[in-house]
Each structure stands twice: as C-alpha cells, then as structure tokens.
Amino acid sequence: MVQNGFVVEFTAAAGREDEVAAFLVSAREMVEREPETITWFAFRKDKRTFGIFDAFETEEGRAFHLQGEVRRAIDANGELFAVQPTITPVDLIAAKLPH
C-alpha cells in the first residue's frame, strides 16, 4: 500500500517561470529510474507557484527519493527559485491508483 509521500512547493524567480516548468518536465526522466516512486506529479498552481506530489510504498523508498537525482537537480538549479523549495513529508491515509 502507498503510505508515504512528499508535497514540494516551488516559487519561480521572476522571469524564470518557463524554465521552472521545463525543469519539472525534465525531472520526470529522473523519476522514471526510481522503482520505489509509485506516483509522481508535477503541477502549476499559478503563474509563479509550482509543485510536486509523489508517493512511495515504504519509508525507505521515500528516503531514497529525497536524496536522489531530482533533489540534487533542485539544489543545483537554485537560481530558478525565488526561495528555497519547501519539501513536506506526508503520510497517506487513502489512495486510488490504477490497477
């Protein structure tokens, strides 16, 4: 059962919104190489606010992802963001996933 997740929120630096969107699209390839990442969604809330939601079956999978390629890419591209992205671990209490 998928029990663990992250909600990540990004605020793009002024004028860097398209680059943040492109960065998130490119991050999907990195996540594809993580078998423990069950679901991964990148989204846009408004002009400058973006996010990621991802979920894992185990705490180990979540911990691996936290130290993985996407996290390193976020840290390496800090100039894209107005402030440091907020990474919030969440415990999932219910989910509907494809079979």
Fold assignment, 4-91:
Alpha-Beta Plaits (3.30.70)
Q: What are the sequence ranges of the domains in the chain?
A: 4-91
Please answer whether residues 23 and 52 qualify as being in contact, where contact means their C-beta atoms are separated by less than 8 angstroms.
Answer: no
Residue reference for tokens 């990004």: 10
- Note the pLDDT tens digit of each residue in 54-95: 999 999 999 999 999 999 999 999 999 999 999 999 999 999
Phi, psi of 95 (to 5 degrees): -155, 155
Rounded to two decimals, the pTM is: 0.93
Phi, psi of 43 (to 5 degrees): -145, 165
| Confidence band for 1, pLDDT divided at 50, 70 and 90 | confident
